[in-house]
Amino acid sequence: MLRRVTLLTFFLFVGLALFSSFLPLYRFNYETGIWERNYYLLSETVSSGYLHEFGDQVSSENDEITYSLAGSVSPDTAKTVNIVLAQNALAGSLSVWNDNDILYLEFNLIPGCLMEESSVECDINPPSKNPSPGSFDYKMTHDPQTGYYLYEIPLISLNPPEHAWETGTELYILAHAVVNGTFNGESFFKETAWCGDIEWDGGGKWFWYLKYTIEEPPSYICVDLSGTLSSWFVRKPGDYFANPINGIIRASHDFSITFSGFTNLVEELTGETMEIFYGFSEGSPSIDQWIGALDLNLFNIDLPATEGTVFNIWQRIINDNQSTGVYSNGGVITFTLKNVQIEIVE
């Protein structure tokens, strides 16, 4: 028996430069022993870009970095079939996909076509007779009429209709709509539409249907951050901290966050240094939660699968009468999705 471990990883480069702009900063007052907000109106700027999802870098321009998700659970990977109007006319498309919990059916009609009704039936058996859309398990009256609608059907339902569709389950799907053709806001026809890629050949009324297999959703990790570069303008010595970068993480499996390449701030011309610390707590870090730049490279964060975990990057600098200049640093944050699968190898 071999254990196959699949690791999905992407890298985020972050940096800090002491420049200018505006941000609520906190400075430690040694006389009172408390942190004071907006002392000397110190400031910060975050680059306009964002990181989104796992995968290869798509573009990098003006500090804006966009990542696309490989194998995203989305309509892009769905099975798509035609919405057939009046037996042979195209009225749009139906996309079908699933995640861990939900089967999605997305009606998307072409311009000039609107639905006033839609209905869906899913069964593990193929149709054996002409269907009756009025008796389908899932149906909707659209008022106002619409060219778009998304059904979300649970893969496991303990309420009628009871079902448990595991990975690999083959479903036969009947999807029906009553479609109005419109022009300048006026309806000029009403027709029945069926969705599918299999045409009924058992006699009686015409209809189309499709077969869909419940899939194991692909692994994914999605990171949306407010920026990857922060800049401060520090006018006087002191001990300051702020929360310039934050975001949301979504992941299909447990994941870890590691750090590399971080150093203290270094002045470009003289090589003089300034201490910088990092924190990742939800609120302001306590004194024992700050991590020095060099120690950060040995630090890791393990988190469970999530549909929305807040990720804060707090920064703290100690300006101890260093010379005036531009101090900067950078580092790499690595997000690794831990997808462990057992595979039997004969």
pLDDT at 228: 77
Going by pLDDT thresholds of 50, 70 and 90, the confidence category of residue 74 is very low
Q: What is the mean pLDDT of the chain?
A: 79
pLDDT at 171: 97
Same domain, 138 and 180: yes
Amino acid of residue 233: F
Pairwise CA distance, residues 179 & 63, whole Å: 47
pLDDT at 76: 63
pLDDT at 69: 27
More confident residue, 46 or 220: 220
CA proximity to 292, closest of 311, 255, 264: 264
Residue 43: give the domain boundaries.
2-71+220-343
202-211, 226-235, 299-308, range with the lowest pLDDT? 226-235
The winner for highest mean pLDDT among 37-46, 223-232, 243-252 is 243-252
Same domain, 236 and 167: no
Total residues belonging to the chain: 346
Same domain, 234 and 114: no
The residue out of 213, 242, 272 marking a domain boundary is: 213
Same domain, 79 and 66: no
Same domain, 116 and 170: yes
pLDDT at 324: 86
Beta-strand pair 163-164/156-157 = antiparallel
Q: What are phi and psi of 264, to 5 degrees?
A: -65, 165
Pairwise CA distance, residues 77 & 61, whole Å: 28
Same domain, 14 and 126: no
For residues 229 and 15, the answer to whether their CB atoms sit within 8 Å is: yes
Half-sphere exposure of 282 (CA within 13 A, CB side): 2
More confident residue, 44 or 109: 109
67-81, 226-240, 274-288, 295-309, range with the lowest pLDDT? 67-81
3-state secondary structure at position 296: helix
The residue out of 160, 193, 213 marking a domain boundary is: 213
The mean pLDDT of 46-71, rounded to a whole number, is 31
Residues with Cβ < 8 Å from 292, sequence gap 6 or more? 264, 275, 276, 277
The mean pLDDT of 316-327, rounded to a whole number, is 89
Q: Give percent of the chain above pLDDT 90.
A: 47
Same domain, 100 and 66: no
Same domain, 202 and 105: yes
Amino acid of residue 285: P
Pairwise CA distance, residues 124 & 161, whole Å: 13
pLDDT at 57: 32
Q: Where residue 154 sits, what CATH number does that domain have?
A: 2.60.40
Give Rg (Cα) of the chain. Answer: 28
State the greatest distance between any 2 C-alpha atoms of the chain, in Å, as a whole number: 90
Domains contained in the chain, number:
2
Amino acid of residue 262: F
The residue out of 196, 213, 230 marking a domain boundary is: 213
- Find how far residue 272's CA is from the centre of its chain: 41
Same domain, 308 and 232: yes
Pairwise CA distance, residues 42 & 319, whole Å: 12
Same domain, 60 and 113: no
Same domain, 238 and 321: yes
pTM to 2 decimal places: 0.53
The mean pLDDT of 250-271, rounded to a whole number, is 91
Q: Is the dihedral of CA 201, 207, 213, 219 positive or negative?
A: positive
Same domain, 191 and 233: no
pLDDT at 11: 52
